[in-house]
Amino acid sequence: MELEDQLLEEKKPKKNIGKNRVNLEKDSIQYNAQDLDQEQKVDVNPVQLNTQNLHVFVGSNDYSGKITGTSYLEKNKEIVMNVDILLFFGHEQKLPVHKTNSDNNGNFIIEDIPPGYYTLVAELGEKLKYQSHYIKVLPCQNVHHSILLK
C-alpha cells in the first residue's frame, strides 16, 4: 500500500517550481514498423456458391423399399377395387412419384422406391378420398399401409 501512495504522490504536480524539479513523467512514443502505404486487395462483394448433387439409384439389388396395402371403405370395412393411388415424396402434393390402382382384391403394391418419407393419396370417383400422414420407408423395408376411403 505504501508503494501505491508513493507513486501517486510523485505523479501529483508540485507547488514548488524551481531549478531542482525532477520530471518523472515521460512521453512514450511507439513507432509502427509496418509500411502503411502498401496496397491491399480486399473483395468487398464476396460471392459464395453452394451446390448439392443428389444421386438416387433404384434397382433390385440395392436399398429400395416397398409399400403394400389394401383399400377399404371406412364405413363398413368393405374391400374396394380399382382405387386410384398416388404416391408423393414428402408432404408436397404437386407431382406424384408413382401412380397405381388397387387390384380386384383391393391390394396394391408400390415397389422400388428409395428410402424416405412419403404420402399416399387415394381416390375412387369424386366423393371417396383418402390422404395418409407421412409413411417412413427405411432401406430394404416393406411397409404395409391400409387405405380407408371416406
Q: What is the pLDDT of residue 92?
A: 85
Task: Give residue 42's pLDDT.
Answer: 75
Q: If you average pLDDT over every residue of the chain, what do you get? A: 81
Cell triple for 115? 428410402
Give the Cα separation of 83 and 103 in Å (integer).
8
Three-class HEC string of 29-51: CCCCCCCCCCCCCCCCCCCCCCC
| Residues of the chain predicted below pLDDT 50 | none
Give the model's pLDDT for residue 46. Answer: 76
Angle at 104 between CA 98 and CA 106, to 5 degrees: 60
CATH class belonging to 65-149:
mainly beta
CA 148 to chain centre: 33
Could you give the C-alpha distances from 92 to 15, 43, 88, 129, in angstroms and in order?
87, 40, 7, 17
pLDDT at 132 (0 to 100):
94
Distance separating alpha carbons of residues 85 and 104, to the nearest angstrom = 14
Write out the H or E segment, with its range, that includes residue 146: none
Cell numbers given for 10: 510523485
Domain ranges across the chain: 65-149
CB 67 within 8 A of CB 88: no
pLDDT at 26: 60
pLDDT tens digits, one per residue of 5-37: 666 666 555 555 555 555 555 666 666 556 566
Q: What is the pTM of this model?
A: 0.58
